[in-house]
Amino acid sequence: MKYITRVVWILSIVSLLTDTASEMLYPIMPIYLKTIGFSIVLIGVLEGIAEATAGFSKGYFGKLSDVTGKRVPFVQLGYALSALSKPMMAVLVYPLWIFFARTIDRIGKGIRTGARDALLSDEATPRTKAKVFGFHRSMDTFGAVLGPIIALLYLYYNPGQYKTLFYIAFLPGLLAVLASFFLKKNNIPSNKSKTSVPFFSFLQYWNESPVPYKKLVIGLLAFTLFNSSDVFLLLKAKESGLADTAIIGIYIFYNLIYALFAFPLGIIADRIGLKTVFISGLALFAIVYFGMAIATNIYFFFLLFFFYGMYAAATEGISKAWISNITDKKDTATAIGTFSGLQSICMMLASSLTGLIWFQFGATTAFLLTGSVTIIVISYLLTIPKPAS
């Protein structure tokens, strides 16, 4: 595994530790916020603002990384802010300060995403991109397995002690920051002609970007507009009569499948083509959503979440590998940051749209519509030439 370089290992370990910290809090975040006085509406507003902040900042800081020629400082600062936000959520219990702490976490994600993915891209060749991004996604997602397990064990012995869990989550976050300092600051050639970068300047990249990038991103964003939060899948399982422990178990199972298969599917994608594996992943997604429209049995739900984990493994890292293969190296952080930013905004809209359709027409209609749109997106992507692999 010569293609898994020292830099890839460090970034993967940093992501694993950070995701462990974040996912430790994911299952209990809404419960904790309600205990300190947040209403459901206020929780929704908080998450909406947080995601919008992350979305726009991914594009801006990706552009800033390319313009300044720096990668590692963005990675280090981004992970440091996310780690710092964990204890802040416990200490600052007033709504305005909670908004501030949550925004700090999302800005941290925005600062690091483009620069980190550009570093991963720089460590690979077009023939090893999917392997490298797949390995990183595997390590990152193992954190999404470890985090909820740690939270479940802690709350089993300390029921209701949510605030302490935020302090515990700070420890893996801090280890992630320390690990990031093992990265060497190898800067890329910078664009010295630009002295400042306006916040929305990354959107100009759309006009400058190559045609294959535009075609691919249009398809990906169309899919994202109907790819709502995983919460809706878990809510369908809950409405079908599954116990809370079974739902948490299914969520951990999904992340485990994702983590186990992201790297192997990256290896396969480099051999048979990124486009082939990516579209196969979307086909699995469509099967999951069509299945969710009729699912009632716990075993059927586990099968669907197995497919859902396979879908994530076949698309998340590979989409970034695909983008980095069809864009100029000097624009990698901008290209991925712009896509990730627009994707975050579309994801926020997708959850709102799905919630509205669910409320007006029922869960079955919402899932069938998403599955049908996915088939249309697959048909569109089939018309795009295969990227180099």
pLDDT (tens digit per residue) in 247-282: 878 888 999 999 999 999 999 999 999 999 999 999
Buried residues in 280-292 as b, exposed as e (16+ CB within 10 A): bbbbbbbbbbbbb
The residue ranges of every structural domain in the chain are 6-183+205-381
Question: Following DSSP, what letter does each residue of 105-155 receive, concatenated?
Answer: HHHHHHHHHHHHHHHHHHTS-TTTHHHHHHHHHHHHHHHHHHHHHHHHHHH
Q: Out of 3.30.930.10, 3.40.50.2000, 1.20.1250.20, 3.40.50.300, which CATH number does the structure's domain 6-183+205-381 have? A: 1.20.1250.20
pLDDT band with cut points at 50, 70 and 90 for residue 55: confident
Q: Please tell me the pTM assigned to this model.
A: 0.84
What is the three-class DSSP state of 182?
coil
pLDDT in tens, 137-190: 999 999 989 998 998 888 888 887 888 888 999 999 999 999 999 998 766 665
Q: How far is CA 76 from CA 12, 86, 107, 256, in A?
A: 13, 16, 13, 27
- pLDDT over 80 (residue 93): no
pLDDT in tens, 205-235: 888 889 999 999 999 999 999 988 787 888 8
- pLDDT over 70 (residue 388): no
- pLDDT over 80 (residue 293): yes
pLDDT at 229: 77
- pLDDT over 80 (residue 322): yes
More confident residue, 1 or 136: 136
Task: Return the amino acid letter for 111.
Answer: I
As a whole number of angstroms, the distance between CA 133 and CA 121 comes to: 8
- Per the prediction, the chain carries an average pLDDT of 87
